[in-house]
Structure 1
Amino acid sequence: MNNKFFPSNFLFITIMIMGTLFSLSSSHWLTMWMGLELNLMGFLPLMNIKGKMLEAEASMKYFIIQSMSSSVLIISSVIMYSYSLSWYSMFTNNTISTLIMLSLILKLGGAPLHFWLPSITKQMSWSILFLMLTWQKLAPLFMLALVNSNLFIMLMISMLSTIMGSLMALNQTNIQLIMTYSSISHLGWMLSMISINSSLSLIYFTNYIIISIPLMAMLSSYIGNHLFILSKKNKMNTMIIISLVLSLGGLPPLLGFMSKLIILITLINMKLMLLSLLLFIGTLISLYFYLNMSLMLMIKSYNTFYTQEYTTLYNPILTLNILSSFIIYPLMIMFIK
């Protein structure tokens, strides 16, 4: 598997995508579980794409964690079936729904069950890291939307994820770890709305992917994963990366701010003031390390500057990022109301 373009990689990617679609298109807990397992079987070989020892260790850890959460999920589903004689979302027992919820939070890597995620992600290539932080979250998030009981526990987990993700990223020098902790923090925002209005979580998730694709593609062009690398000479246009980083932090009037604002408005309308405040504090903490990354990109010695030609490839992304609050946000408000 040393070759990046190994023919079977296409097969593994197809299995991974089919597994997720299998879970998304089902309303039956058993088939959703089968989809998750199929997705896992497709993703594990992709983690070993370069055949390194560290990747093998990371994929083993990932397999153990995912198997453990899947075991809890299927056992809870069987117990739920014995209570309600239904494989569909009919939670008559609070304990079972809590177990199912916690198993899915473990799959997602949400706090306080997030400690496995950073130790795995720092050993990955950027493309696999992107899949781990975006595509792999899609099916468990959809399944969490079906768990409509235990709102208090869900909101507690969302608060913990946002604050823990922000605090843990403060001391990091590895860019991949910063992106991982940032993903945990963003997951908290998605979980805060998943039981209340799952379409808003989907909007947030979509915006997160739109920002992450170009950002991770550009960061992967740097040789090395440490923060000081950002201040070195590079042909990439740094202003585009800075706008994407600040958008991820939720700085107005960028795209990331728009998705956060929609969730904040909904939470304040529901009188969930403490939750809104804690999510807001978590984002303010995370803005510190996003600004730190931006400064590393901006403050370079005079000798390191290129006379950069502006690439037209990223023009639409930059436009969407900057104008989203003025164009997309009013449309979203109309759509929600």
Structure 2
Amino acid sequence: MNNKFFPSNFLFILIMILGTMFSLSSSHWLTMWMGLELNLMGFLPLMNIKGKMLEAEASMKYFIIQSMSSSVLIFTSTMIYSYNMSWYSMLNNNMMSSLILLSLILKLGGAPMHFWLPSITSHMPWSILFILLTWQKLAPLFMLSLMNSNMMVIMMISIMSTLMGSVMALNQTNLQLIITYSSISHLGWMMTMILFNSSLTLFYFINYIIISIPLMHLISSELGNHLFMLTQKTNMNNMIIISLILSLAGLPPLLGFMSKLIILISLIKMKLFLFTVMMLLGTLISLYFYLNISLMLMIKSYTMFKIPKNIKTYKSLISLNMLSSFIIYPMITMFIN
């Protein structure tokens, strides 16, 4: 962050966190909407940290998209209130619940309304990209878990997000776009269980954050923004970043695999076999470009076993990622049984 304006940045971060907490602690559609708007007002100035023209353009696009989805959300909430005379009522009107669902999917950047996300993220600093792909999804996902209808629509959006995020990332050379499309794919996995068991969605979301924190920090500090930079010589321990990338891909026995396994077991128990196969197909496609990144890092074998200086901060997170089979698996059995 720009140290010259650090006090104001700290204020904006607090406003952003307060807005999300406002939405999470509410059971009232109007106050949830207010929390989302407060969060937006805190996040927009953070997108312009370096003051570049491309960042200003990205923040304007983000503002327009979020305002559009918020407008649909508050309009639909008002319509529901006019029918039921209550802000707390469950969504028993299919058309109204579909409109709220679409506005939340637009906020999240899920397929088929993901078109705005890559054009914004390609011009962002890595720290702001991390906030956008993790923290900014928390409140809309919570609101999505309150829906009590449109199960088939959410399942279709989950499949489309997983497949679209995987396919679109195949020909990308910008690492920020690859991470963005993979987050769309992971969003599909999070949404699979949002109506059945929201605690599993939270479990997947936390695991995604645990993997993303060290991965994005290492990429931003050592590797740069483009795939060809992966073959340049650095002082970074490549085996660590390869393990994080493969964990994001969902290879056993890493943490990302455990996240997917717990959802797959639940889907199979509910006898949603075709849905499970489609989700696995999306993961297999994404595995191709994750393995491509890992292979490019493995080419630098002469730097593979150097001990880096900046990895000490993330030792606990990386250890959890490596040892997840022994740590997380007992937790999985507790959840499923």
Q: What's the TM-score bracket when you normalise by the shorter of the two chains?
A: over 0.9
Verify the 8 A CA contact 1:162 1:282 in the aligned structure 2.
Answer: yes
1:241 and 2:246 correspond = no
Distance 1:4 1:289 in 2: 39
Q: Kindly, what percent of the aligned residue pairs are identical?
A: 75
The C-alpha deviation readout for 1:9-42, integer Å capped at 9, x for no partner, is: 1100000000000000000000000000000000
1:2 Cα deviation after fit: 5.9
Letter in 1 for 2:306: Q
1:308 Cα deviation after fit: 1.6
The C-alpha deviation readout for 1:285-335, integer Å capped at 9, x for no partner, is: 000010011111110275xx3872255444322321121122212223213
1:210 Cα deviation after fit: 0.3
Paired position in structure 1 for 2:307: 309
1:268 and 2:257 correspond = no
Counterpart secondary structure, 2:293: helix
Distance 1:208 1:223 in 2: 21
Verify the 8 A CA contact 2:237 2:304 in the aligned structure 1.
Answer: no
- 1:216-235 to structure 2, matched below 5 A, reads 216-222=216-222, 224-235=224-235
Letter in 2 for 1:264: L
Distance 1:135 1:28, change over 3 A: same
The C-alpha deviation readout for 1:187-228, integer Å capped at 9, x for no partner, is: 000011101110000000000000000000000013531001
Q: Which runs of 5+ in 2 are unaligned?
A: none
Verify the 8 A CA contact 1:165 1:185 in the aligned structure 2.
Answer: yes
Verify the 8 A CA contact 2:237 2:305 in the aligned structure 1.
Answer: no
Paired position in structure 1 for 2:29: 29
Paired position in structure 2 for 1:136: 136
Paired position in structure 2 for 1:160: 160
Paired position in structure 2 for 1:328: 328
Letter in 2 for 1:15: I
Distance 1:193 1:144 in 2: 11
**How many residues end up aligned between the 2 structures?**
335
TM-score (norm 1): 0.96
Counterpart secondary structure, 1:221: helix
1:89 Cα deviation after fit: 4.3
Counterpart secondary structure, 2:264: helix
Distance 1:267 1:113 in 2: 25
Verify the 8 A CA contact 1:154 1:192 in the aligned structure 2.
Answer: yes
Verify the 8 A CA contact 1:254 1:325 in the aligned structure 2.
Answer: yes
Distance 1:200 1:306 in 2: 35
Verify the 8 A CA contact 1:222 1:229 in the aligned structure 2.
Answer: no
The C-alpha deviation readout for 1:96-130, integer Å capped at 9, x for no partner, is: 00000000000000000000000000000000000
Distance 1:189 1:181 in 2: 13
Distance 1:261 1:2, change over 3 A: closer
Distance 2:195 2:331 in 1: 23
Q: Which runs of 5+ in 1 are unaligned?
A: none
Distance 2:296 2:304 in 1: 16
1:93 and 2:93 correspond = yes
Distance 1:296 1:85, change over 3 A: same
